[in-house]
Amino acid sequence: MGDLLELTALAEPTHFWFRGFRARVGPVIRDIAGDRRNLCMIDCGCGTGYNLQMLLRPYGRVFAFDLAWDAMRRARAAGRPLVRATLEHIPFASGSFDLATSFDVMQSVPDDRRAVGEIARVLKPGGHVVLNVTALDFMGGEHGDVWGELRRYTPGRVARLLEAAGLEPVRISFFFASLLPIMMAVRAAQRVAQLWREPHGDADLTVPPAPINALLSALVRGEAALARRVPMPFGSSLVIVGRKPGR
């Protein structure tokens, strides 16, 4: 896990995928927050802690947790307070948070139903959850194998998961549609390569040469802007907003 988190930490500031992710999710969080600057928020499975800056400065106070000791060390070194925990057992009181986030974690949680139930429990009535998860079974590949991916999602599966936890689905939308042809080609090549070798490392986290990375960054940022107005019909990820009834 330490090596994977090292790769992630190196990639997060500049890799086109992370740029596209922030361009898509950042405005979603901004819409939920509105003009409020006193939100109590929690990031569930914070990894390196890099994404906490999307929450911390503008909108209020942020708590976080992760299971991996390496993740905790990195996040604490960056000055991020957090505890060690799992999504299936969140160590905070019920009704504590206005906003809960979890980015690319749910697909690797053994009991995702319980995990979403725990998120719902710690939300205040009227609070929101923002999730990013992997989508579509046929898009599985080495990246998922290395990170312990247990499942991928469809909009219907996510809606049922939220509803089972007593949350109202507000928005469930595909993302990274623009990258899907490239990713499908990469996944096909990986499956062929796996005929004679085991997955090792995570090549998906390698930052491409600067011109290619800039081009792909522009592509996914353009998609993020478009996706705010036009739903994507497919994609390798799902961006999810749920709401706890009340208030």
Number of domains in the chain: 1
pLDDT band at residue 173 using 50, 70 and 90 as cut-offs: very high
Higher-scoring residue by pLDDT: 62, 193? 62
Mean predicted confidence (pLDDT) in 112-140: 95
pLDDT reading at 228 higher than 80 = yes
Nearest-angstrom CA–CA distance, 125 and 246: 5
pLDDT band at 235; cut points 50, 70, 90 = very high
Q: What is the DSSP string of 137-206?
A: GGG--HHHHHTT----B-HHHHHHHHHHTTPEEEEEEEE-TTTHHHHHHHHHHHHHHTTTS---S-GGGS
The model carries a pTM of: 0.92
Domain at 153, CATH number: 3.40.50.150
194 has a pLDDT exceeding 70: no
Confidence check: pLDDT of 114 > 90: yes
* CA separation, residue 200 to residues 1, 183, 187 (Å): 12, 18, 14
Specify the range with the lowest mean pLDDT, choosing from 110-124, 153-167, 203-217: 203-217
213 or 70, which is more confident: 213
CB-CB neighbours of 9 under 10 Å: 18
pLDDT at residue number 82: 82
Q: Which residues pair with 169 in a beta bridge?
A: 242
Q: Which domain holds residue 171?
A: 2-243
pLDDT for 42-97, tens place per residue? 999 998 888 888 886 689 988 999 998 888 887 777 666 688 899 999 999 999 99
Mean pLDDT of 118-135: 97
pLDDT at 101 over 70: yes
Is residue 202 predicted with pLDDT exceeding 70? no
Angstrom distance (rounded) from CA 123 to CA 77: 28
Whether 66 contacts 75, CB under 8 Å: yes
